[in-house]
Every structure is written in structure tokens, then in C-alpha cells.
Amino acid sequence: MAIDAFLGKWCLVSSEGFEEYMKELGKETGALRLGQGA
């Protein structure tokens, strides 16, 4: 799969389940807030 398929602008419509996902990856709370754009 070429990276070109993912280039462009993206719009986040929901972050439902994001915190749980990041916790499973072992990310810290600060990273959670940055990732959600809070």
C-alpha cells in the first residue's frame, strides 16, 4: 500500500474509545490529551 493513499487533509469526527486504545498501547495520560486535541 502506497503512503500516497494517506496524504491529504483529515477531519476527526469522533474520538470515542481513543483513551482506551491509547491505554492498551501503553501511552501516558499527557499523550492521551494531546492526541484528542484537548
Contacts of 31 (CB under 8 A, 6+ apart): 22
pTM (two decimals): 0.42
Domain boundaries, the chain: 12-38
What span, in angstroms and rounded, lies between the C-alpha atoms of 33 and 4? 28
Q: What percent of the chain has pLDDT over 70?
A: 68
DSSP string, 1-38: --GGGG-S-------TTHHHHHHHHT--HHHHHHHHT-
- 10-28 pLDDT, tens per residue? 898 988 988 888 788 887 6
What span, in angstroms and rounded, lies between the C-alpha atoms of 18 and 24? 10
CB-side neighbour CA atoms (13 Å) of 33: 4
